[in-house]
Structure 1
Amino acid sequence: MITTDGVVSTGIGSWPGTDLTDALKITFAECPDLPHLPELPDRGPHAGLVGRGTALLTGLGVDLQPAGWRLTDVSSRDHRRAIGTLRSDLDQLEEIAQGYEGPLKVAVAGPWTLAGSLEHPRGDRVLPDTGARRDVVQSLEQGIVDLAAEVARRLPDTSLVIQLDEPSLPAVLGGDIATASGLGRHRAVDIPEVSDAYTRLVERLGDTPVVVHCCAPGAPIGLLTTAGVRGLALDLSLLGTADWDALGAALEQGHWLFAGALPTNNPSAPPPTADQVASAVLAPIRRLELPPEFSTHTVVTPACGLAGFSRTAAISALRTVRTAAGIVAEGLYD
C-alpha cells in the first residue's frame, strides 16, 4: 500500500546537474512526505532513463552505440558504468536517508519503454522480436525485484514505492515506434502481453506498490489499473473527459493519482503559482464528485522530470507543488 498523511507532493524523478548528494538533500527537504531518488541525466547517457534502465537488466549485456543502447553478448564499459553509477547512487541514498521513516519512491525505466528503446544485436529495435523483447522484459523484472530487496536491506524503515517511467507505452500499444530507418513503424504489441508484464511484476513485488508514470498522450488508464498497479502518474494537461472518467473509477477502487499539474515542457516559461497548480488538480476532481476519502489518494507532482530546469527553478517547482498539495487538501472538503 501507499501510505501518506492526506494529499502530499513529490517529484517525478529527473533533476538538473550532476551532484546527487545535493539533489538528495533537496528532495528530502522539499518532499518530506514522499522523497525520491533523483535521476541526473546530465551525468551522461549511462545516467539517463534508458541507460539507468540497462543497469537493472539481469543476465543481459548491453553496449552504447551512436544510435543508442544495443543488446550484446558481453556488458560493455558503458553498461558497467551504468551499473556502477546506480550502485553509487544507492550508497548515497542510504547515507542521506538514515533516520528517515516513511515511503520512499525510486523510479526506473518501464519494461515497454526499455523494450522500445533498445536495439537488437542484428540492428533495429528489440520490440518486433518476440523472444528478445520477452528476454528484456523478464530481465528487467528480475532487476527491479532485486532492487526492491536491496533498498529494503539498506533502509529497512522505509516503505518503497516503485515508479515505472513509461513515456513510450502509448506508442508501443499504438504501433508508433519508429524502425531504425525511420521510414516505418513497428507493429503494436498485443494488449495481453503488455498487461501481463505489469501483473507479473506487481505480483513478485508483493507489498511494494507500483506506480506507472506516463507523460505522453493516450496513457492506457484502464489497462494499467486492471493489471494491478497501485498508482498512475500522469500529465493532467493531456487528459480528456474519458481519461478523467477512467481515473474516477480508479480512485473509487483505491488507486492513487500522481497528479502532474505543474507544466515542465517549457522551463523558461513563467512558473505557475501554487493556486494555479492546485486548481488544475481540484477542478476535474470536483467534477467527478467523488467523496473526499477517495480524492485524498492524490499526490501533486510536476508533469514530468525537472532535468531541463535550473537548480533554482527546480527547487521552486518542488516548493510550488508542496504548497499546492496543501491547498488541494483543504479544497477537497470545501
Structure 2
Amino acid sequence: MNWLKPNRATGLGSLPHQDELMALKIIAKTMPHWPHWPQLPGKMPEQGFVVQYVQPLIKLGVLTVTPPKDPVFARLDSGWADTVVEFYEQYMAFMNGDAGAEQMFALDGAAFAGLEVFTAHFSQYFPHAEGVKGHISGPLTVGLQIKDERGRACFYEETLRDILVKCLAVQAVLEARRLKTLGLPVLIFIDDPSLFLIGASTHITLTKEAASAALAEIIELLHQEGAKVGVHACAGIDWSILFELPVDVISFDAYHYFTGMALQAKGLAGYLEQGGKLAWGLIPTSGEAWQETPESILTRFDEQSAELAKRGLNPAVLRQSIIWTPSCGTGALPVDLAAHIYSLVAGVVARLDSR
C-alpha cells in the first residue's frame, strides 16, 4: 500500500512567526494532509538550527554555550572524561528503555514549544490529516558548526562526532514517539544541507563514508520506531549519497538545483523503482516567490517532468512519487513572504487536483 497519496504537501519546518497558533493556522490552511510542527527560531533562539537538538549535551555539560556563539565541546574542563562517561551511560540507559534517561533527553522547554503546541491543538487544526511530519537538524551540518576547543569542526573528530550523532538520533526517536501519539503515520526529515560540501575542494578531508554513516545511524533508529525518513538538502549535491541510503524521501530544491538531479536521472529512476519519494521543493524560499504563481510553478514542473522523461523516467511514476514543499525553511523570511510561499504550495496542489 502506498503510504503517501499523490498531490500532498508539507513544509520544511521553520516559520518566521512570533506566535505558534498563528503558525498552525498557516500550516492548517495550506498543508492539511501532512502538517509539520512549527519551529520559530525568530521567537526562541533555542529553536535555532544548531542548538535545538543538542540541548541534552548542554544540560550534561558536554557542550558549553556563550551566546550568541555556537556551542563548543568542553574538552578543556577538568571533568571532561567523567562527563563523556555520563553521556554514554545515559545513552545506553535510554536504549535499554530507562525512563530516567528518557527524561534526560526529553524534548521540552523553549526549544520544543512549537512541538508542544502542535500536539496539544492537533485535532482542532488538522482534522483531515493523513500523517504528520517532523524534522531534525542533520549531523553533518551541525557537526561542521559546533567546534572543539581548538576551533575545529567536531565532525572531523571521531569521538565528538559519535557523541553528536547519538544525541541527534535519540532526539529523533523521541520526536517520532511524540508524533506517533497522534495516531497517524510519521515522517521525519533530517535536514542536512551541508551535504553539498562533500567533494568540495574546501573540504577535502570530509568523506562521503563518514557523512553516510552518520545519517544511516539516525535513519536506522527511526525506522525501528516505524517512522518514514526523509533527508533534505537545499543545494546541489551528489545525490548518489542519498540514493544509496535506506531513505524514504529525498527533499531537494527543485527551483534552483533541478539540473543536478536531472543529470543523475539513472540513479533517480532506480530510487523511485524501489519505492522512494521526492519532496519537490519547487516553490522558492526567497523574494523570487513574489514573481511566481501556481500556474508558473506548474509550467516549470511540466518542463522538468518532460526533461526527466527524455532521460528515461516515467512521468506517471514521478507524479505519483512527489510530496510538494517549499525549497527550504522560511524561518528567516518576512511573515508575509512566508505566507505567500505556503499559499503557492497549496495553489499548486489544488491545480493538480483539478487536472
TM-score (normalizing by structure 2): 0.79
- Partner of 2:13, secondary structure, is coil
- The 1:256–1:136 alpha-carbon spacing in structure 2 relative to 1, beyond 3 Å, is same
Identity of aligned residues (%): 24
Equivalence for 2:186: 160
Shifted more, 321-330 versus 269-278: the winner is 321-330
Shift of 1:131: 1.6
- In the other structure, the counterpart of 1:261 is 282
Cα distance between partner residues in 1 of 2:131 and 2:251: 16
Structure with higher Rg: it is 2
Distance 1:2 1:91 in 2: 29
Q: Is the 8 A contact 2:134 2:175 kept in 1?
A: no
Most deviating of 60-69 and 20-29 = 60-69
2:203 matched to 1:202?
Answer: no
**Offset of 1:5 from its aligned partner?**
2.6
Q: Is the 8 A contact 2:35 2:131 kept in 1?
A: yes
CA deviations on 1:247-269 (whole Å, 9 max, x unpaired) are: 333223221111111112336x6
What is the match of residue 215 of structure 1? 234
Give the structure-1-normalised TM-score.
0.83
Pairwise CA distance, 1:151:
2.4
* 1:102-141 alignment runs, 5 A limit: 102-141=130-169
Q: CA deviation at 1:19?
A: 1.0
**C-alpha distance in 2, partners of 1:49/1:123?**
19
Distance in 1, matches of 2:192 and 2:70, equals: 18
Is the strand fraction higher in 1 or 2?
1
1:55–1:83 Cα contact (<8 Å) kept: no
Match of 1:24 in 2: 24
Q: Distance in 2 between matches of 1:203 and 1:124?
A: 28
Change (3 A) 1:2 1:225: farther
State whether residues 38 and 118 of structure 2, in contact with CA within 8 Å, keep that contact through their aligned partners in structure 1.
no
State whether structure 2 residue 122 is matched by structure 1 residue 97: yes
Residue 288 (structure 1) aligns with: 308
Residue 330 of structure 1 and its aligned partner are, at CA, apart by 6.0
Residues 167-206 of structure 1: matches in 2 within 5 Å? 167-171=193-197, 173-174=198-199, 185-206=202-223
1:297 to 284, 297, 321: 321
Please report how far the alpha carbon of residue 142 of structure 1 lies from its aligned counterpart in structure 2 after TM superposition.
Answer: 1.9
Contiguous gaps of at least 5 residues in structure 2 = 75-79, 84-104
SS of 2:154's equivalent in the other structure is: coil
Aligned with 2:251 (options 206, 223, 233): 233
Gaps of 5+ in 1: 75-79, 177-184
- 1:14, 1:40 within 8 Å by CA — same for their partners in 2? yes
Would you say the 8 A contact 1:214–1:234 is kept in 2? yes
Q: CA deviation at 1:47?
A: 1.4
For the residue of structure 2 that corresponds to 1:281, the secondary structure is helix
CA gap 1:163/1:136 in 2 versus in 1, 3 angstroms: same
**Within 2, Cα distance between the matches of 1:255 and 1:85?**
35
Greater share of helix: 2
**Count of residues paired in the alignment:** 312
AA matched with 1:296: Q
Corresponding residue SS for 1:68: coil
Check the 8 A contact 2:133/2:186 in 1, yes or no. Answer: yes
